[in-house]
Structure 1
C-alpha cells in the first residue's frame, strides 16, 4: 500500500524538481523557498544527483552576506535527456526537440493533411517524430521521452484518445501504446489547450506570471489554466473545456465551439460575405480592403469570446489571458473588441490583461515537450526506490 509517508516524500521531491527546472538554486535556497528542512532537501538532491540529471556548479558559488561557506548552486544537466513534443492539430502535426533544461533545439512540421482518419493522423505524427529522431541521432542526442498535445477528451493515464469533437475518425485510439511499440520511448498525451498553456508559461508571455488562462481556438475551443505555476485539471480532469459551454440559438442549445469554431466561422463568412472565402486570412484581407461585412463578422465573434473570457476571469480570479490558435489571424480588430467588452463589463478594471500568444502554433509542442521532461523525471524518482506497476506509477503521477 502506498503510504502517506511515501506520498509526502514524492510530493517534496516533485516540488524541488519543479524549482530546479526553472532556477539555479542552492540547497539552502531550496529549503528557504519550500519550507522543507535542510536534511529533507539534502536527501532529495542526493537522489537527483545519483539519478544523473542534477549537478553542483561549484564554479558558480554564490556570495551570501553573513554566510560562511558560499552556497553551491544546483542545476539540471541539459544533456541528461532530450524530449520531443508534438502538437496535433486537425490538419497538421508540429513538433520540437528540447533538452532537459527546456532549450529549443529543433522543430519539424508535417505536410498539411485533409483526411482525418486515424491512419493519416498517425502517419503525420510519426513523420514529425521520425524526422526529429533522425536529426537528434545525427547529433548523438538521446531522446528518452515524447509528449503530445491533442484535442480532447483524452485519458492520459490509459494513453487513449477518446472522441475529440470535429476529429470524428480519430477516436478511441491507444496512441501511447502505438507510439511506445514503435519507438520504445516513454510517451505522454495531454489536452492541446493545457499543453499550450504550459508552453506559454515556460517559453512565452507567461514566463513571469504565476497564474494565467490560455484560450486555444481552432475548429474546437478550449482553455488551459495555470494556477500557482501549475496546470489546473480539476477533480475529473476536464477543467477548461469551455468549448462545451452552452449557448442558446433560435430556441436550441449549441456548444460554444459549434457556434464559433474556425470551420463554422469560415462557412458563415462564405454564405454572408463571399463564396470564395476558404480561410480566416481571407476575412482579414477583406477587412483591409474596407469590407464592412467582414469587419462586423469579426466584431460579432469577438463579443461572445469577450463574454466567455470575462466569465472565466470573474470565476477564476485570474486576470492574465492569452489567446492562441488560429484566431490570432483575425488580428487587431478581434482582440480590441474583446478588450472593449471586458473593459465595459468587467469588475477588475485595468487589472485584466488580454493578449495574443507569443508562440503561436509552437505553444502546444513546446508545452508537450516540457511536460514530457517533467513526467519522465518524476517517473525516474518514483522508480528509484519504489518498484511498482506502471498503473501504480500513473496513480502517483496524476
Structure 2
C-alpha cells in the first residue's frame, strides 16, 4: 500500500478510536451497539476498535446488571467501561509567546496543567529544556510517576514533516526551523513523543471532543500570531505530502501589500494575523495594546478595534471561500486568539464567504467558533498520545514491570 494511503487510513482509525473512547468516557458503561449508534461508526468498526482497547487493558466488559439473559434468551447484554487510570499522557503546546503543558488520564481528562510565558526569539534547545522542566513539575502536580506516562504529544506553530519529524521553514518560531523536535524531546523525557502542527492538533481536538464531533469533513482555522488550517477530510486528518496542507497564512491576498516573513508580499498573515491587527491600532491606542485588550475594546464598542477585526474577517473569508469551493466541508471551526472576538470576526468571514463561495458550499458549511478555547492545541496533543495508546502502552508497562 502506498505510504500516503497507509497514513490516511491510520489517521482515520486514530480519530475513530478517539470517538469510541469519548463515548466510553461520557457514558461510564455502554454497549457496543450503543457506541455504534452514538458515533455513527459501523458495528464491525466498533468491535475492532474495542478489541484493540481490550487487548491494551483499557476496556473492561461486564454483563448488564440484573440481566441474566438477553432479550431473546441468549447471552446477556455486555456493557463496556474505560479504564482511564491505566496510564497517563503528556501534552506540550508551544505557542508564539507561551508554553502550556498538561497531564491527562487515558480519556484525555486533564489532571494537572501549567503555563509559562515564552520569549518569541527563543531557540529550540532553550524551548525544549523549558518544556522538559515544566513536564516534570506538572507530573508532580498530578501525582503521576514518570513510569505511568505512555507518551507525550507536542504541538508547534509550523509545518511538520511526519516522515522525518523536521520542523518546516515557514514555522512562526524561527529558532525551531530544521529541528527534529520529537527526537529531541524524547531524549529529555525518555518517553515516546509525537509532534504535529498546532492547527492539526486543534482540528483533532475539536473533532474528537469539541464543536466538530459529528462532522466527517471539517476545517479548523487557527488565527493567532500566524494563520493555519487543520483539515479533516472524510474522517481523516489531512497533512499533505510534506506537512504543508493548511498553510493559509501565506496565501496571497494583496499583491502590493507589505512583505511577509516568508518573503512574499501581501500574504493573508500580513492583514489578518493578530500581530498585524495590533500594529495597525498601536498608533491610536497606545504601544502597550494587547490582543486581549483589542478584543475587549471592540466588544465594548471601540470603532477602530471593531473595524480592524471586521476587515480581518473579510480577508479571511476570501481565502476560506476558495477552500469551501474546493473541499466542500460540513463545518468551519474558528479557533486561536482572535476567535475570542466572536461574531465581530465571524460576521466578516460570513460576508466574504457569501459573496465569493458557491451558494451550495457556503450554505452546506456551518461556521462556528471553537468550543475548546486556548486548550484546543494541548487537548489535541493529549488526544494524539491517547489515540496511539495501543502502541505505547505495552512498552511502558513492560518497562515499569
Q: Which category of TM-score, normalised to the shorter sequence, fits these structures?
A: 0.7 to 0.9
Contact 1:281 / 1:330 at 8 angstroms: preserved in 2?
no
- After superposition, the Cα gap between the structure-2 partners of 1:377 and 1:312, relative to the gap in structure 1 and judged at 3 Å, is same
Scaled by the length of structure 2, what TM-score is found? 0.79
Q: CA deviation at 1:179?
A: 1.9
Candidates 53, 70, 73, aligned match of 2:76: 70
Counterpart selection for 2:292 from 281, 287, 310: 281
SS state at 1:240 partner: coil
Distance between the aligned counterparts of 1:371 and 1:176, measured in 2?
13
Quote the residue 1:195 is aligned against.
Answer: 201
Q: Unmatched 5+ residue regions in structure 2?
A: 25-29, 258-263, 397-401
Q: 1:358 aligns with which of 371, 374, 390?
A: 371
1:49 aligns with 2:54: yes
Matching residue of 1:305: 316
**Is 1:153 the counterpart of 2:165 in the alignment?**
no
In 1, Cα distance between equivalents of 2:366 and 2:173:
32
Deviation at residue 221 of structure 1 after TM alignment: 0.6
Structure 1 pair 74–230 and aligned structure 2 pair: CA distance change class (3 A): farther
TM-score if structure 1 supplies the norm length? 0.80
Name the CA distance, whole Å, in 2 between partners of 1:235 and 1:19: 26
1:249 to 232, 246, 255: 255
Answer yes or no: is the 8 Å Cα contact 1:54–1:75 preserved in 2: yes
Q: For the structure 1 residues 11 and 204, does the alpha-carbon distance in structure 2 shift closer, same or farther, using more than 3 Å as the test?
A: closer
Consecutive unaligned residues in structure 1, runs of 5 or more: 384-398
In terms of mean alpha carbon deviation, does 9-18 or 346-355 score higher? 9-18
Residues 128/91 of structure 1: CA separation in 2 closer, same or farther (3 Å cut): same
Is contact 1:20-1:76 (8 Å) kept?
A: no
Would the aligned equivalents of 1:110 and 1:127 in 2 still touch at CA under 8 Å?
Answer: no
Larger displacement relative to structure 2 (235-244 or 14-23) = 14-23
Whether 1:342 and 2:320 are equivalent positions in the alignment is: no
Q: Report the CA distance between 1:45 and its aligned residue.
A: 5.8
8 Å CA contact retained: 1:214, 1:225: yes
How far, CA to CA, are the matches of 1:265 and 1:258 in structure 2?
9
Q: Tell me, yes or no, if structure 1 residue 82 matches structure 2 residue 88.
A: yes
Partner residue of 2:278?
A: 266
2:187 counterpart residue number: 181
Deviation digits for residues 215-251 of structure 1 (CA, Å, limit 9, x no counterpart) = 0111111011223433222344332121222223328
Q: Distance in 1 between matches of 2:98 and 2:119?
A: 6
Distance in 2 (alpha carbons) for counterparts of 1:148 and 1:28: 34
Alpha carbons 1:323, 1:357 under 8 Å: kept: yes
Write the distance in 1 (CA, Å) between the matches of 2:324 and 2:208.
Answer: 21
Report the counterpart of residue 392 of structure 1 in structure 2: none
The one of 340, 363, 368 equivalent to 2:381 is 368
Q: Report the Cα distance in structure 2 between the residues aligned to 1:66 and 1:234, rounded to whole angstroms.
A: 50
Cα RMSD for the two superposed structures: 3.8
Q: 1 CA distance for matches of 2:215 and 2:298? A: 34
Q: CA deviation at 1:305?
A: 0.9
The Cα shift of 1:200 comes to 1.4
